Every structure is written in C-alpha cells, then in structure tokens.
C-alpha cells in the first residue's frame, strides 16, 4: 500500500497540474457520486494527510481519495488521454484546459464539505509529514500503547498517520528495534526517523527508503527475506504484525534487532 511519501509525491504532482486552475472536467465514477460534475470549480490545492489525499475546491467542497493497495493518479496533457480516461478501472477524472488527472483503482472516494473534512480524516493520528507535526507528541502517543508490539502500533493510523510496512521495517531496522518489542519500551525516535526517510524519498527523483536509487538499493530490510542484512550480513527474517485477521508482513534482522 502506498505510504506517506508516495501520497506526498502525488499531491505535489497534482498541485502542479491543477492548483489554481478551473476544472473543465470533474467526473466521479463511484457509487452514489456517479452523477456528480465538478466542472467549473477551481482547485485550491491537494493536501495529503497520512495516506489520504484531500483535493480542496473553491466551492467549499473537498474530494477525499485514498489509493489503498492498487490506486494511482495518472497525469497527462489534455487531449492526449488516448482512451485511458474511459477505462473501466477509472474512478475519477479531474481535468483543466492543459492537464487531465485520472484516478485509477482508487480505494476510497468521498465528496464532503471542506468544513467537514474531519468526517473522513478526523480518526487519524498526527500526520508524520505535516509541516507542524509534534514529534515528541507522536513518540508519547506510541509509548502510550503500552504492551502492544511496536510493529502493530506504527501501522495503526489512529496513533500516527503515514507509516506502512515499508517504513515500519526501515525505521525499526535503523534503531535496531525488534517489531514485537512492547511500544512502552521504545524510547528510540522511530517516528522522527520515519518522517526523515519518507521526506527524503518524497524529495528524491525516485522513491527510496535508503536514499539510494540503484537496482536493489532502495531498501535495507523490507521485502528482503532470506537476503543478507546490509549491516551485518545475517539473513533477513519475516514475521506477521498487527491484530488477528489484519496481519501485515514485518521484516527485520535477527542479529541487529534481537527479540
């Protein structure tokens, strides 16, 4: 699932195409919103909140979208869509006279009054990539989870928002913290590290959790089960983290991150 760095990259690209511009196309192909036409509204900006994206309009409404596992926003010059805007996987089309943004396989689509954005993102914890995020508060929120495993806590978007399995693995590896350590015992600044890694990735030409962009160099541990740890050479291990029925893979080095 795309994490905070990817959503920030998407917001920046969509701002470059849409911000300050009037929509000539505003189609939502999502359930009861199928008859909605956003054409005529001016896009004020695209605001990421954790893994969610808020596209604010000058008519007092906000389009809320979430990429989930397979979603994406594809941007092309207006008139060069070549049928991509009519594909059955398209959930939203936002277009100006110059650019067309096509939302494919979006996992969530809502249209709310801007003053009611809390209805769709109010349940989230602090956004780790927000300019004004209080990292000390984030650390306190994490430790307040008590005996819950730190891996499960970092994936809980109601505690802090933006981290998925990639930055869970990379942030804990950076501090040599095992994914099953009780959250109350984690004094290392894992939230600050996750923010640093995600911002660096968002600012890089290509997404990268390590700062490197060469083949196979973008991750230290995530998705590398059985391959040597890039710090000590021990084969990377995998376990499941999260509540029953919602477990997600967690990768770690058994030597660098002892239980």
pLDDT in tens, the chain (259 residues): 799 999 999 999 999 999 999 999 999 999 999 999 999 999 999 999 999 999 999 999 999 999 998 999 999 999 999 999 999 999 999 999 999 999 999 999 999 999 999 999 999 999 999 999 999 999 999 999 999 999 999 999 999 999 999 999 999 999 999 999 999 999 999 999 999 999 999 999 999 999 998 887 899 999 999 999 999 999 999 999 988 888 999 999 999 999 8
The predicted pLDDT at position 14 comes to 98
Which residues are the active-site residues?
A: 2-3, 51, 248
Q: What is the CA radius of gyration of the chain?
A: 20
Residue 252 three-state SS = strand
* Residue-level pLDDT at 58: 98
Cα separation, 36 vs 28, in Å, equals 6
Q: What percent of the chain is helix, strand and coil (3-state, nearest 5)? A: 25, 25, 45
How far, in Å, CA of 178 to CA of 42, rounded?
47
The answer to whether 154 and 163 are in contact (CB under 8 A) is: yes
Strand partners, 56: 45, 62
Q: Are 133 and 198 in contact (CB under 8 A)?
A: no
Beta partners for 77? 99
Burial per residue of 197-224, b for 16 or more beta-carbon CB atoms within 10 angstroms, e otherwise: bbeebbebeebbbbeeeeeeebbbbbeb
Place of tokens 């089960």: 225
What pLDDT is attached to residue 183? 98
Q: Give which of 151, 162, 232, 155 is closest to 197, Cα–Cα.
A: 162
Query: Could you give the CA distance from residue 76 to residue 95 in angstroms, rounded to a whole number?
Result: 9
Give the per-residue pLDDT at 168.
Answer: 97
Instruction: Check if the beta carbon of residue 207 is closer than 8 Å to that of residue 5.
Output: yes
Cα–Cα distance for residue pair 39/26, rounded to 1 Å: 5
Quick one: how far is CA 170 from the chain centroid?
A: 15
Phi-psi region of 11 (alpha: psi -120 to 50; beta: other; left: phi over 0): alpha
């Amino acid at each position: 699932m795309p994490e905070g760095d990817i959503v920030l990259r998407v917001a920046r690209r969509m701002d470059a195409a849409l911000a300050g511009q009037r929509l000539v196309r505003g189609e939502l192909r999502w359930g009861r919103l199928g008859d909605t036409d956003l054409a005529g509204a001016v896009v004020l900006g695209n605001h990421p909140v954790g893994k969610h994206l808020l596209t604010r309009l000058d008519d007092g409404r906000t389009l809320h979208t979430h990429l989930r596992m397979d979603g994406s926003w594809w941007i092309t010059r207006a008139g060069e869509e070549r049928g991509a805007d009519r594909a059955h996987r398209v959930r939203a089309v936002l277009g100006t006279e110059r650019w067309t943004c096509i939302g494919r396989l979006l996992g969530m689509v809502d249209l709310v009054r801007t003053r009611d954005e809390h209805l769709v993102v109010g349940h989230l914890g602090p956004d780790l990539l927000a300019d004004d995020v209080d990292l000390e508060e984030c650390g306190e929120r994490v430790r307040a989870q008590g005996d819950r495993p730190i891996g499960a806590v970092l994936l809980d978007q109601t505690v802090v928002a933006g981290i998925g399995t990639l930055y869970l693995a990379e942030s804990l590896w950076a501090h040599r913290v095992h994914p099953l350590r009780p959250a109350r015992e984690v004094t290392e600044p894992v939230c600050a590290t996750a923010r640093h890694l995600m911002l660096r990735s968002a600012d890089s030409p290509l997404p990268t959790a390590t700062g490197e962009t060469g083949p196979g160099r973008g991750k230290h541990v995530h998705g590398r089960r059985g391959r040597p740890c890039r710090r000590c050479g021990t084969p990377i291990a995998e376990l499941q983290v999260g509540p029953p029925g919602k477990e997600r893979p967690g990768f770690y080095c058994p030597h660098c991150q002892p239980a």
